[in-house]
Amino acid sequence: MELFFQLLINGVYVGAVYALYGLSFALIFAPTKVWHFAQGGIYVLAGYALYSFNVILALPLWAALVLAIALTSAAGAGCERLLYRPLVNRGVSHMVVVMASLGLFVVIENSMDLVFGPSGLSLRIDPQTPWLVSGVVIMPIQIIAPMVALAITGLLALMLYRTMAGREFRAAITNPELLEINGISVSRIKLYAFAIGSAILPVAALLLISGGSGVSPTVGITAVLTGAMAMFLGGVDSPLGAAVAGFIIGIVENLSVFVLPTAWQVSITYGILLLVIMIRPTGLFGRAVQKATV
């Protein structure tokens, strides 16, 4: 029983991080329809940004986070302005855009590897004292993370549904032509989508790193794939749905340790996701997308 709660706590923790991955990916995809696989590279960049500010420049953690958010947000916006926008304007096919994104992913990840080396690095974080609650070990970060994720998701929900900007954003998701007709710049909304979506990444990275994993160049794939899968499960047009889905994925992944050794976790998670694709090709909450349109 204690094992169950231990796994659940960890699941909630990891789920919070995955929720942020999903939120981030979906915020970008929904209005732009770009498969931003380079997101994995931006995520790696976020980790090393934290490291550079916190360890190399010896800034306090909160300052490092703020700066990392600024940097990552700019990098995300840079992707939109310098990579995707020019390509789309040239009229290349979707395939080519995705390939460029994959290329950028490879470049960023390996640049970090080149500069900082392949092994994991640590941030200057005070070691946490775990709590022991009726036989279950709880790290403070495991409680903080879901609260942070909830706060960010809540904040974004407020922005999306209570502000004018949010309404424009939602309109850009379903009906961009209508916006253009009314003189609202969809390309500006896309830029913000990339900026805000990317800004979430350093937070997610920090939450994960605080739990003991180091800053490393190979974490990008998991981040972007989990984010993309969460978006798929949560319904492509719904960033909030992606957050919920990411959370669920995290919990399921951890509870599956009951049945399988840890090394298999990730494979099983994606295996289950593929199964979901086969059973419900439109995702769990997604609206039906008809394959054929006449």
Partner 1 sequence: MPELELVNVSKSFGGLAAVSDVSITFGGSRITGLVGPNGAGKTTLFNLITGMYPPTGGRVLFHGEDITGLAPHHVARRGIGRTFQQVRVFGELTVEQNAMLGLPEVSDSLSVGLLRTGRGRDELLERARKNLEFVKLDHRASELASDLSYAEQKLLMFACLLGLGASTLLLDEPAAGLDPTSHGPVLDTIRQLGGRGHTIVLVEHNLDVIRSCCDEAVFLAEGRVVRTGTPQELISDPELGALYFGMVEGVNA
Partner 2 sequence: MEVYILGILVTITIFALMAISLDLLVGYTGLFTIAQAAMFGSGAYASAIVSLETGLGFWGGAVAGIAVGAAVASLASIPSLRVSGDYLVLASFGVQVVFHGLFLNLDGVTGGPAGLRGIPRPSLFGWSIDSPAEYLALYLAIAVVIVAVLRRLLASSFGLLLQAVREDELVPQALGKDVLRLKIKIFVLSGAIAGLSGSMYAHYITFVSPESFDVHASIFVLAMVLVGGMGTTWGAILGAAILILLPEVLRFLPLPTMSMGPIRQIIYGLILIMVCFLRPRGLIGGRS
Q: At 209, which helix (H) or strand (E)?
A: helix 186-210
- Residue tagged 């310098």 (tokens): 82
Q: Does 150 bind partner 2 (CB under 8 A)?
A: no
CB of 209 closer than 8 Å to CB of 215 = yes
Q: For partner 1, give the closer residue by CB, 129 or 290.
A: 290
Among 1, 181, 263, 292, binds partner 1 (CB under 8 A): 292
Q: Does 94 bind partner 2 (CB under 8 A)?
A: yes
- Binding map of partner 2 across residues 31-70, x = CB under 8 A, - = no contact: ----x-----------------------------------
DSSP class of 54: I
Q: Does 257 bind partner 2 (CB under 8 A)?
A: no
Work out how close the CB of 290 gets to partner 1 at its nearest, in angstroms, rounded to a whole number: 8
For the record, the structure tokens of 55 come out as 């360890």
DSSP class of 263: G
Q: At 137, which helix (H) or strand (E)?
A: strand 136-138
Question: Based on the number of CB atoms within 10 Å of its own CB, is 98 exposed (0-12), middle (13-18) or buried (19 or more)?
Answer: middle
Would you give the distance in Å from CA 143 to the centre of its chain? 19
Among 88, 196, 229, 244, binds partner 2 (CB under 8 A): 229
Q: Does 290 bind partner 1 (CB under 8 A)?
A: yes
Q: Does 97 bind partner 2 (CB under 8 A)?
A: yes
Stretch that binds partner 2, among 6-14, 52-60, 109-117, 184-192 (CB under 8 A): 109-117
- Binding map of partner 1 across residues 231-270, x = CB under 8 A, - = no contact: ----------------------------------------
Stretch that binds partner 2, among 4-12, 141-149, 154-162, 265-273 (CB under 8 A): 265-273
CB of 191 closer than 8 Å to CB of 34 = no
SS3 117: coil
From the CB of residue 180, how many other CB atoms can be counted at a distance below 10 Å?
13
Q: Does 294 bind partner 1 (CB under 8 A)?
A: yes
For the record, the structure tokens of 23 come out as 């939120």
In order of 46, 95, 172, 227, the CA distances from 231 in angstroms are 21, 20, 17, 6
Task: Point out which residues bind partner 1 (CB under 8 A).
Answer: 290, 292, 294
Task: Point out which residues bind partner 2 (CB under 8 A).
Answer: 35, 83, 86-87, 90, 92-100, 102-107, 109-111, 113-114, 117-118, 221, 225, 228-229, 232, 263-264, 266-267, 270-271, 273-275, 277-278, 281, 289, 291-292, 294
